[in-house]
Chain A
Amino acid sequence: MKRIDGRKPDELRPLVIKAGVINQADGSAMVKLGNTTAVAAVYGPRLLHPKHLQEPDRAYLRTVYSMVPFSTYERVKPGPSRRSIEICKVTRHALEPAIFLEEFPKTVIDVFIDIIEADAGTRTAGINAASVALADAGIPMKGLVSAVAVGKINDTYILDLNGKEEEETFCDMPVAYINRTKEVSLLQMDGKIDKKDIKELLKLALKGCEIIYEEQKKALKNRWIGD
């Protein structure tokens, strides 16, 4: 089955990852997956104010996901929407298990994600960028987190939905995966599928995450060691 943009069902959109794109940040990365572009910046660990948010035995991971007003067809009203607040939360949950938060009690690790172009897969692009930015910042981690969304159109499972496919798909399933430990840290599903579908979709998603993981590693190596 050929997809709208000519891709094979298990093919990712063209992927570009660059680390160290924001000089002021402790760590940063840009991820461009097809026409979806996310920029992530990490500041920290740093002291956390207000004090009552401090956690006595670990760092507080604070993630902010935000879409730039001109990132979509319809202008996005500036400011957090309920959707972006949900994505802040799931992004934080996707990244937390991979970080040694206990090494920096009472501090905050700030992760800011700006979506500057949106063509589906924004939360996964954000997680991919945030993960590279965290490593770039020298934050101690158990492994990188990679993420991609999968779906199903007619009877075919497809990897990395673009905007048009997101409208047609029977289900939209973003997945985040820590490749090294083989742990899934984010799994959401929107749609109607059965048990057999879940298994196949997950397999496809993990395959996509493995490819993204290689690119994330390359981006870090390029930034620090060059070619």
Chain B
Amino acid sequence: MEFQYQYLLDLVSKGKRPDGRKPDEYRDINIETGVIFKAEGSAKVSIGETQVLAGVKLGIGQPYPDKPDEGVLITGAEFSPVASPEFEAGPPDEDAIELARVVDRGIRESEAIDMKKLFIDEENV
């Protein structure tokens, strides 16, 4: 709301925020793991009123031809219409796709997962 912009500027110049927090203060953070019974790994994270549910599923497949000795990581994100009046049902829009790709790169580049460890020898499949 445009005229509220002025109100916010005034508040911020006084070091205040509409919900009373200080400029460098976070909203309440909550983290729970193992919340989804059928997922091999899962977590529920909330920051203030934003809630995110994440799940990990494992499966067996073929390595990519250019990385024949590594496992495969696929990241997807959905902005469920449950979560906000602004989200519409349907395939992921550009925001959801961007989020998924940024998170994917974050996990991949950090090398937090050793992709080689995800490789199963042909005999052992």
Direct chain A–B contact by Cβ atoms under 8 Å:
yes
Known A22-B82, A79-B91; judge A35-B37 contact (CB<8 A): yes
Q: Is the CB of B89 within 8 A of A70?
A: no
Residues of A within 8 A of B84 (CB): 24
User: CA–CA, A43 to B89, complex, Å?
Assistant: 12
B 79-99 binary contact with A (CB < 8 Å = 1; else 0): 011111100010110000000
> Chain B: which residue is nearest A118 at the CB level?
B38
Q: Is the CB of A116 within 8 A of B36?
A: yes
A162 to chain B, nearest CB (A): 12
Residue in A46, A66, A117 whose beta carbon sits within 8 Å of that of B37 in the complex: A117
User: CA–CA, A117 to B80, complex, Å?
Assistant: 15
Residues of B within 8 A of A35 (CB): 37-38
User: CA–CA, A121 to B38, complex, Å?
Assistant: 15
Known A68-B53, A69-B55, A70-B57; judge A39-B38 contact (CB<8 A): no
Known A23-B49, A112-B89, A116-B36; judge A70-B56 contact (CB<8 A): yes
Q: Is the CB of B57 within 8 A of A41?
A: no
B 14-58 binary contact with A (CB < 8 Å = 1; else 0): 000000000000000000000011110010000001000101110
Residues of B within 8 A of A40 (CB): 82
User: CA–CA, A54 to B10, complex, Å?
Assistant: 43
User: CA–CA, A41 to B81, complex, Å?
Assistant: 8
Which applies to chain B's interface (DSSP): helix, strand, loop or mixed? Answer: loop
B 51-73 binary contact with A (CB < 8 Å = 1; else 0): 00101110100000000000000
* Most chain B beta-carbon neighbours within 10 Å: one of A28, A66, A70, A72: A70
Q: Can you list 24 residue pairs at the A/B interface with Cβ under 8 Å? A: A22-B83, A23-B49, A24-B84, A40-B82, A43-B81, A64-B81, A66-B80, A68-B78, A69-B55, A69-B76, A70-B36, A70-B39, A70-B55, A70-B56, A73-B38, A74-B59, A78-B91, A78-B92, A79-B91, A112-B80, A114-B82, A118-B38, A119-B37, A119-B38
Tell me the A residues contacting B by CB distance below 8 Å: 22-25, 28, 35, 39-41, 43, 46, 64, 66, 68-75, 78-79, 110, 112-114, 116-119
